[in-house]
Amino acid sequence: MANFFKENTKKSVKTQEKQMLTVKVEKLDLNGCGVAYYKKKPVFINGSLPNERIETQLIEQKNKYARGKLLTISQVNENRITPKCSHFSFCGGCDLQHLNYEQQLIFKKNKVIELFSRSGMAADIIAALPWQKPIAASQWHYRRKARIGVQFDKNAQATIGFRQKATNQLVAVKSCPVLVKPVDRIFPILKELVAKLSVKKSIGHIEVICTDISNQLSNHLTLVIRQVRTINAHDSQLWQEYAHNNNWDIHFQCDENNNKNILNDTDDLNYGLIDDIQINFSFNDFIQINHSVNLAMVEQALSWLQPESTDQILDLFCGLGNFSLPLAKKVAKVIGVEGVQSMVDKAGANARFNKMDNCHFFQTDLNSDWLANEKLNKWVNNKFNKVLLDPARAGAELAIKQVEKLAIQTVLYVSCEPTTLARDSQFLLSKGYEIEKIGLIDMFSQTKHVETMVLFKRKCKRKL
């Protein structure tokens, strides 16, 4: 059999990836990445903005899209600003520092609108959404809790910082302007300390929490050092010395042999809420990382729900009682429900600490048909007239179906993920609810992340 070979006139993938292009950026995608088009294929270029003409080098080619590296900008978007952080180009923590703050909020609002549209929400409803003023605080120095990575090279030299964009490698961070003071400049101190440890490569990562005393963020820090092997006496003493000199509380967690031994794991941290409420927590617990925005968010929730003395309110995904306890000060009864028993226990302890006897907490898998087992979940027999939901990113798909069956007239949904908010909102709208108010919560300034608060009211009877 004769073999005939045809010259391959196509460029190799590697050659294509090295290709230099001059393109115009059309828009930002949902992650805040600039999108241009070349031969009808979208090209994603981090750091670019709409209406910019740029030169880019292709670094990845797929059948349906490509990725490029931003090289130069010949036509600059009028809303571009100089990033405050010197690590912005490499660090994966922030996405939007090159875009002025007002435009960041517009981007986030448009992101919610686009996801609502993708979910099938009617165009007339989207056009008439009753947007309220966004909740926003300081653009900088807002994050009171962070996980700082530690990686070692073959010479046991440590890199301390955050992950680079789209990789598991760390950026060596010197300071971080989104962290509260003095956490923002803790990196050189940690690097100096780690260099003195006798057991190298012993640390996985370090969690830092700025605690709250008397309703004000203090300079007192709690550090949780995640050890991959048990710490020795020399290194423990070194940490204690640095803790004393820098006003730190330190805790160690050792993962060696899967033995997660946490030392001094007590609920001795706290933050203040409105009406002199104090939330006690431990360093393993979830808390909102933006203290100022959290206070404003709780106040807005109360304002939108308009609690009255006769109300019985259901708080689903209640956590430590962040919403439950402020509501309980104004209504007849609050029932908080959470899937994790330890959080239920701590929420109950917070109610007792704040001397509230009308706020009760229960453990239930909220991603189940909990109405089907009223004998087990006796709390469902209360006559709720309002409900607040604050789910994780997975949303509240099953929980809102139960809420709809309860025929609760007022639903306040606090969302940290607009994709699942869009899905769950579409369900409520299909069951006779209308959106009375909607607003952004800028919990994570300088990033692509969007939080949203939506108030639903039932305008028609439930269909049987």
* Residue at token pair 């309110």: 313
Cα–Cα distance between 372 and 236 in angstroms, integer? 52
Q: Which of 85, 94, 416, 460 is catalytic?
A: 416
Element (H, E) at 16: helix 13-17
Rg of the chain on CA atoms, in Å: 25
Can you read off the two tokens belonging to residue 439?
Answer: 């607003």
Name beta bridge partners: 215.
none
Alpha helices in 154-290 (DSSP H): 187-195, 233-246
Q: How many residues are there in the chain?
A: 464
Can you read off the two tokens belonging to residue 246?
Answer: 């820098």
Answer yes or no: 85 catalytic.
no
Cα–Cα distance between 195 and 238 in angstroms, integer? 11
Write the DSSP symbol of residue 11: P
177 and 85 Cβ atoms separated by less than 8 Å: yes
Distance of CA 162 to the CA centre of its chain: 16
Cα–Cα distance between 403 and 406 in angstroms, integer? 5
Residues recognised as catalytic: 416
